[in-house]
Copies of this chain bind each other. A is one copy, B any other.
Amino acid sequence: METLTREKIFYEFSKDNKPVKMVKSGTTVAIDTYDCFTNQIQSDRTEINTIDWNHVNPATGPIYVENANPGDILKVKIEKLEIGDQGVMVVGPDLGVMGHRITEMQKKIIPIENGKAIFDEIEIPLNPMIGVIGVAPKGNGVNCGTPGEHGGNMDNKMVEEGATLYFPVFVDGALFGLGDFHAAMGDGEVSVSGIEVPGKATVTFEVIKGDTLNHPMLENNAVYTQIASAKTLDDAAKIATEEMVDRIVAKSDKTIEEVTMLMSAVGQVEVCQIVDPLITARFVVPKWVLEKLDIKLI
């Protein structure tokens, strides 16, 4: 297994980033990460107004995956996800769903103890997840706080240990990176932050030829999900649904009308986050349905 330390970070997914590691398809890499504030808030004594907002949402990388070319798919299996023992949350004016009601920025240090996040008297069960994960986009770079067709800051709580992501490849080598782990987060990420923590993700890369994607997908033991990001939650939900319907129609012997009805009965429109510069939704289909249709989505 290879390793990558968190000193190698970038703040923008870009075709112009210089790779910090080259790996072959099939390689497993343990990747260290800072939290989304690049670990600038370590205690209650840190003044929130003193942190450098030009250095938030770092992704560790980029990793160049050999033989990944535009039009391919990069498969990334999250073998293991480890998180630090202290998290932090923030709220502030104009941030998140309640930003219009909040007058000053506040932070909260949240110890992680015995598998729980300690929020005052409330012990929150952990659901460790990766907020920022993706590849270089085509065209201009995209800052690591924004999601898109390349992945990025999707803040999707299904991006957890055991999940497999599939990204469209836009540039040679894909230029993969990840960061922004959360010890716990609900769908929506309504305050604009999860419980932000540093950590280490162990992932295995595989290049898939002969198939292509418009937006990232995610697979776990139970489901396939189509992820999409857009200016509105309405648009993100519709894009995710339509991409999934189109993929099932293309791979099955059902018509678009039949697949639309079937998805209405068994598919789920779900929310990833509603607080980033673009909004992210997912459309979720149980694997047993795909097995009955006798198709593989990827």
How many Å from the CB of A179 to the closest CB on chain B? 19
Check A271/B237 contact, CB under 8 A, given A106-B257, A122-B293, A257-B91: yes
Residues from chain B with Cβ under 8 Å of A269 in the complex: 186-188, 190, 271, 274
Contacts of A186 in B (CB 8 A): 263-269
Q: What separation, in Å, do the CA atoms of A269 and B106 have in the docked complex? A: 23
Residue A51 CB within 8 A of the other chain: no
- B190 near A96: Cβ-Cβ < 8 Å: no
Write the chain B residue with the least CB distance to A254.
B120
Q: Tell me if A171 counts as interface (CB < 8 A to partner B).
A: no
Closest Cβ of chain B: how far from A77's Cβ, in Å? 26
* A271-B274 in contact (CB<8A): no
Q: How many copies does the complex hold?
A: 2
Q: Does A250 contact B (CB under 8 A)?
A: no
Closest-by-CB residue of B relative to A293 is B122
Is A241's beta carbon under 8 Å from chain B? yes
CB neighbours (8 Å) of A274 from chain B are: 234, 237-238, 269
Scan A73-114; emit 1 where CB is below 8 A from any B CB, else 0.
000000000000000011100001110011000101000000
- Which residues on B sit within 8 Å (CB–CB) of A257? 91, 102, 106
Which residues, 263 to 285 on A, are CB-close (under 8 Å) to B?
A: 263-271, 274, 279, 283
**A194 → B minimal CB distance (Å):** 7
Known contacts A117-B265, A261-B91, A269-B274; A237 and B188 CB within 8 A of each other: yes
Q: Which residues of B contact A175 (CB under 8 A)?
A: none
Question: By the criterion CB–CB under 8 Å, are A190 and B98 in contact?
Answer: no
Given A241-B188, A261-B193, A264-B89, are A102 and B270 also a contact pair (CB < 8 Å)? Answer: no
Q: Mark A109-136, 1 if CB is under 8 A from B, else 0.
A: 0000000010111111000000000000
A91 contacts across to B, CB distance below 8 A: 257, 260-261
Asked if A59 is an interface residue, CB under 8 A from chain B, the answer is no
Task: Please tell me if the beta carbons of B191 and A264 are within 8 angstroms of each other in the complex.
Answer: yes
CB of A144 within 8 Å of the partner chain: no
Per-residue CB proximity of A228-242 to B under 8 Å, as 1/0? 000011100110011
Of the listed residues A96, A193, A195, A234, the one surrounded by the most CB atoms of chain B closer than 10 A to its CB is A234
Q: List 8 A-B contacts (CB under 8 A).
A: A91-B261, A98-B260, A121-B292, A122-B293, A186-B267, A188-B241, A189-B264, A190-B260
Known: A101-B242, A124-B266, A238-B274. 5 other contacts (CB 8 A): A108-B261, A124-B265, A190-B245, A193-B264, A232-B233
